[in-house]
Amino acid sequence: MPSATPSSPRVVLGVTGGIAAYKSVDLLRQLRALDYHVAPVLTPDATRFVGAVTFSALASEAVRTSLYGDSTTPIPHTYLGQHCDLVIVAPATAHLIARYAIGLADDLLSATLLATRAPVLLCPAMHTEMWEQPAVQENLATLRRRGVMMLGPEVGPLAGGDAGAGRMVEPDVIVEMAQRILEGHRGPLSARHVVISAGGTREAIDPVRVIANRSSGRQGYALASVAARLGARVTLVSTVSLELPLDVARAITVVPVESADELLAAMVKLQTSADALIMAAAVADFRVRAASHKLKRRDGVPVLELEATPDVLAALVEGRGQGQVIVGFAAESEDVEANAREKLVRKGVDLLVANDVSAPGVGFEHETNEVTIFERSGAREVVSLRDKEGVAEVILTRVASLLAQGAS
């Protein structure tokens, strides 16, 4: 077995209490054969299925099982979290997934997961009935939105003679994914440039007053955050200034704009390098010819003559590059589906995300949203009421799928 060199990738291999833990011995062997420095962390339940001595003999350093350290490593979870390039949990049980999703840190493995900024790969393994539980799927969705990568499970023989979904993927598949992650893969949007607009445009009436709308920009910021966690290079063209989550703030370039003209100029400039453009911003349809000075009440009620603003989405579709995915949004208050389908066809976008802003908890200023996603193929998907990052995950999953297929 080769010894790890100082430049070797450092991998924390977490093993939880499931029958699939026996596969993790072979996984460890294959990782070491690549000259990776592997630090195994076993949960107390894992030691009921596999022996710590076996892992210590094959690994780069002795197995750790306790949250509490010793004189050489007094805080092991911090040490492991800060000194690794990748964390793999195989198998990842429903119990571990739930604790990770809600941020518990009551053993060494869960504490290490919270203490690391390295990419994390979970390889779920459990019985089919557990895998299909809504609680498990919601926990997984939460973790995916945070940028945690998943591999599997497969369909096949399970413990107790059963068969179905829930079988941990084979070690060679995990090793292949580990290699990709260590080479820079971070999810289905890795190496993609995603340009997202957010907020509502403001059109000047005079140097003080504007025509605006109720868009808060929260959905656009949620899209930017989730896209970054899925590996994308993100440019956020925004009319508002909201706080980005700390884990993605450095990965997102924010371009401030105010008017429809400024938004159009920024989006068209960025389009040349974009793989996907998501027009979540609410663009004012009309503007006035702005007065050069503040309009005074004493001069009477002014007559404001409206004119159309540029159609940003139409311009992007007209300038679409080969394989580029374009997503439009439609905020409606009546006849949502009919209006959305008409706009989908008229604008020529790949996806049209529509919502009924008159519904409770939906749209502007709310922390939650409920949308329907329409595709050019005629397919539609209703995304039930949830937080805006949850909505963003569904939209971006569709975007990633279209990019993989090569959108026309």
What's residue 178's pLDDT? 96
Q: Residue 220 carries which side chain, given as an amino acid letter?
A: G
Predicted pLDDT of residue 390:
93
Residue with tokens 């995603």: 194
Which stretches in the chain have pLDDT values below 70?
1-6, 407-408
Check residue 6 and give its pLDDT: 53
DSSP lists the bridge partners of residue 15 as: 42
d(CA 387, CA 379): 23
Q: pTM for the complete prediction?
A: 0.81
| Per-residue confidence (pLDDT) for residue 74, from 0 to 100 | 85
Domain ranges within the chain, ordered by starting residue: 10-182, 193-405
What's the confidence (pLDDT) of residue 1?
Answer: 38
Measuring CA to CA, which residue among 81, 186, 109 is closest to residue 400? 186
3-state secondary structure of 210: strand
The pLDDT tens digits of the residues spanning 87-132 come to 999 999 999 999 999 999 999 999 999 999 999 999 999 999 999 9
DSSP run (H or E) holding 329: strand 325-332
- Choosing among 3.60.20.10, 3.30.200.20, 1.10.3720.10, 3.40.50.10300, the CATH entry for 193-405 is 3.40.50.10300
Q: Which of 213, 339, 355, 369 is catalytic?
A: 213
CATH class name, domain 10-182: alpha beta
Q: What pLDDT, on the 0 to 100 scale, is given for residue 206?
A: 84
Respond yes or no: is residue 339 known to be catalytic: no
- The closest alpha carbon to 397, from 384, 381, 378, belongs to 381
